[in-house]
Structure 1
Amino acid sequence: MSENKRTPEEQREKLRQEELKQPSSSIHGSNLSDLVGGLSWKGTGIIIFILIIILVGYVLFR
């Protein structure tokens, strides 16, 4: 199919697919959204729970 005959929806989908193939724009590697996106809801809950425990420990024992 020619570039001129594509519908706007097809053009947007092609651009979206090309963006997904590129690595993330972060210089330092992955970011929080990449981490959470790759985990299940249980994994995300465990990480949040651990962060809360660390925060409470820091506040209580400083």
Structure 2
Amino acid sequence: MSEGKETPERRRERLKHEEVKRNPTGNMNDAFNRNEAGNLSGLAGSLGWKGLGILITVMIIGFIVASLFLK
């Protein structure tokens, strides 16, 4: 597909992927900032499967540690 005939949706996706390649930590920061606005699906979509897995793991470990200290 040439640049002139590229749909706006494809262009947004291409630019998003280029930005993630250039600045992966900025993408995570954007995801957390979106989460503050109450968009959980945006957080999950922006972090990707690895980031989401790490976030869930950290939350589970935090819950276990908190439950041990509060007993």
Shorter-normalised TM-score: what interval? 0.3 to 0.5
Normalised TM-score (structure 2): 0.43
Normalized per residue, which structure has more helix? 2
Structure of higher CA gyration radius = 1
Normalised TM-score (structure 1): 0.47
